[in-house]
Amino acid sequence: MKRYSVAVWYGDAPEPEYFECHAESEEDAVVQASRAYPSADIGTVEIESCQWFAKCENEATCTTRHPIFGDIPTCERCHKFATS
């Protein structure tokens, strides 16, 4: 499972909303986004990268609870580091 960020567009909104989810594939992420936003147009699908460390470029596979920022998309390595 990876973390995906899917842009969803409502009507003529100037900016998309971003639907974030765990999915097996891009197709799966699109299916989840279209269920969550049934009347919106699905835009770009991106794999979220780890945001635990600014220099980490791994793909996020989970989220890790941060005391200030809440749930942060995190790779396995940083998740282990942060929770051990």
Binding site for Zn ion (CB under 5 A): 50, 52, 56, 58, 75, 78
We find the least distance from the C-beta atom of residue 58 to Zn ion, in angstroms, to be 5
Q: Considering beta carbons, is residue 12 or 55 the nearer one to Zn ion?
A: 55
**What minimum distance in Å lies between the beta carbon of 46 and Zn ion?**
16
CB 3 within 8 A of CB 73: yes
Report the amino acid identity of residue 37.
Y
Distance (Å, rounded) from C-alpha 35 to C-alpha 50? Answer: 25
40/79 with CB nearer Zn ion: 79
For residue 6, how far is the Cα from the chain centroid?
Answer: 7
